[in-house]
Structure 1
Amino acid sequence: MWWFLNISIFYLLGFLLLGTTLPSQAMTHHHNFVVADTPYTRLCRNKSILTVNGQFPGPIIHVTEGDTIVIDQIRYPWSDGPEYITQCPIQPGSMFNQRIVLSDEIGTLWWHAHSDWSRATVHGALIVYPRKKNDYPFPIPHAEIPIILDTFRLTVEFGKRYLIRMVNAVMNNIMFFRIANHNITVVGSDGAYTKQLHSDYITISPGQTIDFLLVANQPPSRYYMAAHVYASAGNFDNTTTTAILQYTGNYTLPSSPMLPTLPDFNDTLASTNFTGRLRSLANKKHPIDVPLNVSTKFFFTLSINLQPCVNSNCSGPFGDRFLASVNNISFTQPRIAILQAYYDRISGVYGDDFPRRPPFRFNYTADIIPRTLWRAGNGTEVRVLRYNSTVEIVFQGTNTVAGIDHPMHLHGQSFYVVGWGFGNFDKDRDPLSYNLVDPPYQNTIAVPRNGSLVDALPFRASHKLGNGDGFLLLGTTLPSQAMTHHHNFVVADTPYSRHGVKQPRYPWSDGPEYITQCPIQPGSMFNQRIVLSDEVGTLWWHAHSDWSRATVHGALIVYPRKKNDYPFPIPHAEIPIILGDPNNSDAFLINGQPGDLYPCSRQDTFKLSVDYDKRYLIRMVNAVMNNNMFFKIANHNITVVGSDGAYTKQFNSDHITISPGQTIDFLLVANQPPSHYYMASHVYASAGIFDNTTTTAILKYTGNYTPPSSPMLPTLPDFNDTIASTNFTRKLRSLANKKHPINVPLNTSTKFFFTLSVNLQPCVNSNCSGPFGDRFLASVNNISFTQPRIAILQAYYDRISGVYGDDFPRRPPFRFNYTADKIPKTLWRAGNGTEVRVLRYNSTVEIVFQGTNTVAGIDHPMHLHGQRVWLMHCHLDRHLSWGMYMVFITRNGRTADAKMMPPPRDFPRC
């Protein structure tokens, strides 16, 4: 088969928004983040602070469970993303496609910057809502109100209930918080529900989140909400920050709001009493899974240490430099990201022998510890874990140099806090008191001064990279990690992270500086794609370089798949609060589920509820890696109205054929007898071995009727039904009316004839997976594209020679019967090369795609990227990896608006 297309080459402006009106289906959110210095007045002083979008705190991100976040750069080819086409492989901290999958998080999380001290002003809340609206495990609040303790007034109505979402974005302090004359009920922490805990104050660690209910049940008046430091030792900021809780109605305002009595700054009992009462909800709807058989145990000491300083003029005792360590190792940041070094097998970046226990045993919590134990070594050591191993970590605080609380945070994973206590951990006695019934599920926990935390963090090491490996970063939240969720993100001097997001199989977006990425250099821009899964509630994002999260962070609020699908009584409102100071596949899926033809997945099958005689707009995306798909709904016809971000003439069909990477919008009218009907999908495969499984979801009518024992299953076209496939595709037509005109170039200035082939290449020892032990290749015009080591866009813009050739052929080197059943083996070979084709600005191009039967004849869904440096490739990922792609470069036009925009000053260079 062949296809041709016409292209008018000019500088486009455009974007594609993928979304849905279905209450249970994932949505796509877009955000513009610009990081810049902004003049602000605080505490009667004018200063310039680093902000996102000029806001302090930063934007609140509201998302729904399962949502997808796409970050695009419009009219900006530097951010397009094809590896070695518009940019080098996505280096940590530069341009990248980011994928975030939420799982069981719910409640309040937050995002913040993570370079130097910038998170002080660059931060915000990330609120994850439950699947069902207002399905809370506590009485329904009346409203949710973002609260930043700065100059803030919260207005409430007497008798109403409010859900407050609190984030501690303070850089270096555990905080007490209290509302005068009011009690609160804690219902969640760190993106997980908790058993209800009644208290008149809160203790919250840096990086931690607490969700609580407030009932406005006091005499109408004005009441202070206040917060100050909990400091177990050392110098601290003894100031108090306040906000005002003000009742509505007619009453005489007091001359000053009532001030609450906060616990004393050093009230360790108040701090630990609050933290020690946190418990997981641990019910049928929100079960927990504490690993009872632990395969790997660690004992980690947390210490402040000293290091000799040149001329003895540093700020520590004896003129030494302060260090901090885990098991006496103070981590040294490498200059190549550890994830990059691990994935690319670059030696010499890190060691893999981080100790299971400290090098010396001593009385860790003694008041006086010999100075010989105050020193610590430096190193870049990691610990490698087996996949799916279960891990227990005991954190032991020490009093070397200075005993202090350590709020510990684990990136990419939450954990169960099964125990804690004061003094030295006793491995024989203390495990007998572990809470294995309802331990809180957290990602940040404070190890108390003079204490240990068993917080023996049992967790399962189940994060995978594309090659089956994964990364977890464990560190103190002074500073910590972040959550990003944004569109057109312009990042200055910092990488970004998502705080509390698991991100299975995609750690490239995690963000810790020189761990999963290098710092994003000032002015660099990137295309970032974030896909949320089962997280729900409040999360957050922040920069992740040095201390920049002080001001570079904000909220990411994840809403449930179904509006208001909450696991507790309906709240009237939700309120984000941020406390801050300035510094591999075995099934196809529908909406993430294989369907109930797989018994183990029956309860998780995606169900779409519809009302009789209502019309629904369905937005479908084929994200399958290597297959065209048929889709059909039992007993229902559909009306196609759009494809690939453009309207189409309406046409009716009983099935859909959709290629990888394609989108189809269609209308569904719920006009059949109320019942349950399967929505089903399987492969269309014109040749070769294919996956013959069927994925299903359920179309479920509302109302009173007796549901069938099993939904009605549609009859899909046969796997190899080429007529069904092409008949559908041929009916697609542009709307082409006055309001939505088209502009087909009638005079073509440049014509190409491109053959698309699967080929072979000799393999050393003839032990590769292709016929005759050869290696599979794929080609366009018999050239299998070879990736350069410098981005083509960079090489073109900077006029770097030797990176690519500019003579990609207009036609194949040989003419033959391309679709013959048997093609001579002499035509099975292809050459390698890095060749592009340069086009004149505003030229019109016609491309004929000709499929061939060399080695294996198969469908090729072709996709064209833009702008200026155009990557054209097969959207079967297998063929892309084999080399079926090429590149167009468009020269600049004569006018300013026809010229390529320059790169950011620190565009990631290779």
Structure 2
Amino acid sequence: MVRLLLALALLLVGRLADAATVKYTFTVGSMQINQLCSTTSIIAVNGQLPGPSIEVNEGDAVEVKVINNSPYNVTIHWHGVLQLMTPWADGPSLVSQCPIQPSGSYTYRFGVPGQEGTLWWHAHSSFLRATVYGAFIVRPRAGNAYPFPAPDMEVPIVLGEWWNRNVVDVESDALLAGQLPAQSDAFTVNGKTGLLYPCANDTFTAVVEPNARVLLRVINAGLNSHLFFKVAGHNFTVVAVDAGYTSNLNTDTLVLAPGQTVDALVDTAAAPGSYYMAVQAHDTMSPLTFAASDTTTATAILQYNGTSTSPPAMPAMPSSSDAATANAFYFGLRGLGTPAVPSPVDVSMTIELGLGQLPCDPSQTRCNGTAAAAAMNGVSFRLPGPQASLLGAHANGLAGVFTADFPDGPPPSGTAMAVGTKVRKVSFNSVVEIVLQNPSAVPTENHPIHLHGFNFFVLAQGVGPFTPASVAYNLVDPVARNTIAVPGGGWAVIRFVANNPGMWFFHCHLDPHVPMGLGMVFHVDSGTTPGSTLPPPPANWVGVCDAQSYAAAAAAEVAPAPALSPAPAPALAPASAPGPANSPRAAAGSPVIPPRAVDHKPSPNLPQHRDGGLPSSRSTAGPRAAGHLTGLLCIILLLFVLHQHKA
């Protein structure tokens, strides 16, 4: 009996040791950077562009202290991190928190249970996202493998946009005039424009070994532009998007809407030499004359070790309006087929995306009669006033901050847009299906719609009118995403399980469209069990934006705070356990995670595991599970001590 207890204790200790608490400090401040023949002052994190990469393993706890030394309010959003039971760490200003004021700080604490792949982080306040961003990489924990051949090396590729001006001024000028902002002056790869621009003196170079397998982690951190990405002389095998594993998709062109990520394998089997990695805009606006576009091309270099960087080969890029290439990429993605698509549907919505005009607001002092506007179902969304965030208003019972009457369908044709702060309340564990319609109005463009707090299945998408009778849903192996590119004049159908209580922003990731009103918020209720009930927020969180709340949070920020416990590793079956026929790990004889009962309905929030099984309920419970496991370990050790005492 004693030996059994000790063996069990050692096993539990090993499982806890797999996860860690990973800590970072982000100092947001001004820096000077030389780009495009001029010196520009930008806001950045730790004096870097892009900012530092966060690198963790699945199940780790993450702690990031953000110190705001800039002259602007700022928040940080962890794009694609589910924030299970930690909505106050999500980051959108005045949705999940009040902004971090100049000279202030806030420590974000959250976990990443059940997530693997490439995510990213960025400012979620004004146009600061143009320079305040970085990669967020979640690798499998020790003992787990990728569901594809292991890469020999990994290269993060963060694509961005560059302005030769203060980006806050770029946005402010547009808002005051009620117009779209000026287009960027250049694109960037890992903060560098490449050698095709005027005065270019620097380019990002990835040095690789010949005959190697390279995993490119590609992120579109741009504000306004859909992007084509190619590498001369090489093809891609796409293995994941938005930190969700996919079936292999072979292509020579990656397409990324703002906010999206792609993991792609590249075999360096070409003739030794140097090859351009090229980035160019995919212009989705119709008509194309409605707004000026950035038609430039950014480059980086893929250089085989031991060869010269000059002259690199250049890939043939698609035309900027090549919707066929973009749609072939988006529509061709498939998931691994697990977990199952949730059903039946409890909440069915149709959300129509619209661009238009509204009368100028009194604050728009340079506006001439009407201002550019956008809406979902005729509601042009406005963030609440500076008195409280939406989550803070809910947590503190403040009335008049928002209304819970966002409509489930579009208004009658011809109805004018209406301004409002409307949310859609959803019961815990409801299955929500949304038909996103992007009508063929003038103007129209592809809208990348991002959902905070959840992944969703993409069941169908297409161009032209949405006709339910003729649409075939993919209920077998749909891809899971957190950001969906809805084609101009087209549609997409998504489905998710509302199993994460909080206030969750659902908005266009073209940054100018957010202040124009292209967004709404899902308010997901707590469930009826302790594990589905939102716990009290941390003491350093500011949900109500008054001086008293900021002072109390500042005091809590400097006081010692309990660290967020890492999530335990899922229990693994013996290596000899059979796995599904299409399981890469099972085929390789690796340990597999067997299917097991969970408290939630099947959901893309539960990771699509490589072996086809569902994660254990401990994975979905998040950091609390580590506490339960620690308690069990203590009981075992106590029993051991008592046994020894009796002996």
Asked whether the two chains share a fold, i.e. TM above 0.5, the reply is yes
C-alpha distance in 2 between matches for 1:174 and 1:717: 65
**Greater displacement, 96-105 / 254-263:** 96-105
On the 8 A contact 1:328/1:376 being kept in 2, the answer is yes
Q: Indicate the structure whose relative CO is greater, using CA pairs within 8 Å and at least 6 residues apart.
A: 1
Matched, 1:48 2:41: yes
Hey, what does 2:330 align to over in structure 1? 275
C-alpha distance in 1 between matches for 2:34 and 2:317: 28
C-alpha distance in 2 between matches for 1:445 and 1:243: 27
Matched, 1:435 2:474: yes
C-alpha distance in 2 between matches for 1:263 and 1:717: 73
- Residues 68 and 411 from structure 1, CA distance in 2 versus in 1: closer, same or farther, beyond 3 angstroms? same
- Residues 517 and 297 from structure 1, CA distance in 2 versus in 1: closer, same or farther, beyond 3 angstroms? farther
Hey, what does 1:879 align to over in structure 2? none
On the 8 A contact 2:223/2:258 being kept in 1, the answer is yes
Q: Which amino acid aligns with 1:137?
A: P
1:90-129 superposed Cα distances (whole Å, 9 cap, x missing partner) = 9644576644232432210000112221121111101111
Matched, 1:331 2:388: no
Matched, 1:393 2:444: no
Map 1:23-102 to 2 at 5 A.
Answer: 24-70=17-63, 92-93=98-99, 98-102=108-112
Matched, 1:115 2:162: no
Cα distance, 1:138 vs structure 2 = 1.8
On the 8 A contact 1:630/1:717 being kept in 2, the answer is no
Hey, what does 1:204 align to over in structure 2? 256
1:134-185 superposed Cα distances (whole Å, 9 cap, x missing partner) = 7122222111133341220011111000111111100011100000010010
Q: Report the 3-state secondary structure (helix = DSSP H, G, I; strand = E; otherwise coil) of the residue aligned with 2:265.
A: strand
Map 1:668-747 to 2 at 5 A.
Answer: 717=642
On the 8 A contact 1:105/1:190 being kept in 2, the answer is no
On the 8 A contact 1:59/1:124 being kept in 2, the answer is yes
- Percent identical residues: 35
On the 8 A contact 1:110/1:125 being kept in 2, the answer is yes
Matched, 1:458 2:495: yes
Hey, what does 1:180 align to over in structure 2? 232
C-alpha distance in 1 between matches for 2:615 and 2:404: 42
Question: Please, what is the CA RMSD of the aligned residues?
Answer: 4.3
Map 1:343-492 to 2 at 5 A.
Answer: 343-361=395-413, 375-430=416-471, 433-454=472-493, 457-464=494-501, 470-479=502-511
On the 8 A contact 2:568/2:618 being kept in 1, the answer is no
Cα distance, 1:246 vs structure 2 = 0.6
C-alpha distance in 1 between matches for 2:491 and 2:568: 30
Cα distance, 1:301 vs structure 2 = 0.4
Cα distance, 1:312 vs structure 2 = 13
On the 8 A contact 2:340/2:476 being kept in 1, the answer is no
Gaps of 5+ in 1: 1-19, 75-89, 362-371, 465-469, 482-502, 537-559, 570-585, 587-599, 607-620, 634-654, 657-713, 725-910
On the 8 A contact 1:314/1:321 being kept in 2, the answer is no
C-alpha distance in 1 between matches for 2:495 and 2:512: 20
- Residues 319 and 529 from structure 1, CA distance in 2 versus in 1: closer, same or farther, beyond 3 angstroms? farther
On the 8 A contact 2:15/2:568 being kept in 1, the answer is no
C-alpha distance in 2 between matches for 1:208 and 1:532: 29
C-alpha distance in 1 between matches for 2:546 and 2:488: 33
Cα distance, 1:461 vs structure 2 = 1.0
C-alpha distance in 2 between matches for 1:123 and 1:46: 20
Q: Which amino acid aligns with 2:302?
A: L
The count of corresponding residues between Structure 1 and Structure 2 is: 491
Q: Of 342, 345, 370, which residue of structure 2 is paired with 1:320? A: 370
Hey, what does 2:147 align to over in structure 1? 137
- Residues 602 and 407 from structure 1, CA distance in 2 versus in 1: closer, same or farther, beyond 3 angstroms? closer
- Residues 321 and 338 from structure 1, CA distance in 2 versus in 1: closer, same or farther, beyond 3 angstroms? same
Hey, what does 2:114 align to over in structure 1? 104
Q: Report the 3-state secondary structure (helix = DSSP H, G, I; strand = E; otherwise coil) of the residue aligned with 1:258.
A: coil
Q: Report the 3-state secondary structure (helix = DSSP H, G, I; strand = E; otherwise coil) of the residue aligned with 2:394.
A: helix
Q: Which amino acid aligns with 1:107?
A: G
Map 1:275-674 to 2 at 5 A.
Answer: 275-282=330-337, 287-309=338-360, 320-335=370-385, 336-361=388-413, 375-430=416-471, 433-454=472-493, 457-464=494-501, 470-479=502-511, 526=557, 531=564, 623=627, 631=634, 655=637
Cα distance, 1:209 vs structure 2 = 0.7
1:413-444 superposed Cα distances (whole Å, 9 cap, x missing partner) = 000000011122113332xx000000001000
Q: Which amino acid aligns with 2:124?
A: H
Q: Report the 3-state secondary structure (helix = DSSP H, G, I; strand = E; otherwise coil) of the residue aligned with 1:275.
A: helix
Cα distance, 1:463 vs structure 2 = 1.3
On the 8 A contact 2:453/2:504 being kept in 1, the answer is yes
Hey, what does 2:602 align to over in structure 1? none
On the 8 A contact 2:284/2:445 being kept in 1, the answer is yes
C-alpha distance in 2 between matches for 1:91 and 1:112: 15
Cα distance, 1:402 vs structure 2 = 1.3
On the 8 A contact 1:294/1:392 being kept in 2, the answer is yes
Cα distance, 1:341 vs structure 2 = 1.6
Cα distance, 1:471 vs structure 2 = 2.5
C-alpha distance in 1 between matches for 2:23 and 2:309: 44
C-alpha distance in 1 between matches for 2:239 and 2:407: 37
Q: Of 105, 129, 147, which residue of structure 1 is paired with 2:157? A: 147
Map 1:227-266 to 2 at 5 A.
Answer: 227-233=279-285, 234=288, 235-249=292-306, 253=308, 255-266=310-321
Cα distance, 1:458 vs structure 2 = 1.1
On the 8 A contact 1:327/1:357 being kept in 2, the answer is yes
On the 8 A contact 2:97/2:391 being kept in 1, the answer is no
Q: Which amino acid aligns with 2:58?
A: E
Q: Which amino acid aligns with 1:418?
A: L
Q: Report the 3-state secondary structure (helix = DSSP H, G, I; strand = E; otherwise coil) of the residue aligned with 2:302.
A: strand
C-alpha distance in 2 between matches for 1:390 and 1:517: 33
- Residues 342 and 202 from structure 1, CA distance in 2 versus in 1: closer, same or farther, beyond 3 angstroms? same
C-alpha distance in 1 between matches for 2:305 and 2:614: 50
Hey, what does 2:592 align to over in structure 1? none
Cα distance, 1:521 vs structure 2 = 8.7
On the 8 A contact 2:18/2:141 being kept in 1, the answer is no
- Residues 314 and 425 from structure 1, CA distance in 2 versus in 1: closer, same or farther, beyond 3 angstroms? farther
C-alpha distance in 2 between matches for 1:354 and 1:216: 51
On the 8 A contact 1:99/1:506 being kept in 2, the answer is no
C-alpha distance in 1 between matches for 2:392 and 2:535: 10
Cα distance, 1:534 vs structure 2 = 6.7
Q: Which amino acid aligns with 1:333?
A: L
On the 8 A contact 2:455/2:496 being kept in 1, the answer is yes
Q: Report the 3-state secondary structure (helix = DSSP H, G, I; strand = E; otherwise coil) of the residue aligned with 1:383.
A: strand
On the 8 A contact 2:448/2:486 being kept in 1, the answer is yes
Q: Which amino acid aligns with 1:246?
A: Q
For normalisation by structure 2, the TM-score amounts to 0.67
Q: Which amino acid aligns with 1:110?
A: W
C-alpha distance in 1 between matches for 2:267 and 2:381: 46
- Residues 398 and 623 from structure 1, CA distance in 2 versus in 1: closer, same or farther, beyond 3 angstroms? same
Cα distance, 1:478 vs structure 2 = 2.1
C-alpha distance in 2 between matches for 1:189 and 1:139: 17
Cα distance, 1:603 vs structure 2 = 6.9
- Residues 55 and 515 from structure 1, CA distance in 2 versus in 1: closer, same or farther, beyond 3 angstroms? same
Structure with max Cα Rg: 1
- Residues 429 and 219 from structure 1, CA distance in 2 versus in 1: closer, same or farther, beyond 3 angstroms? same
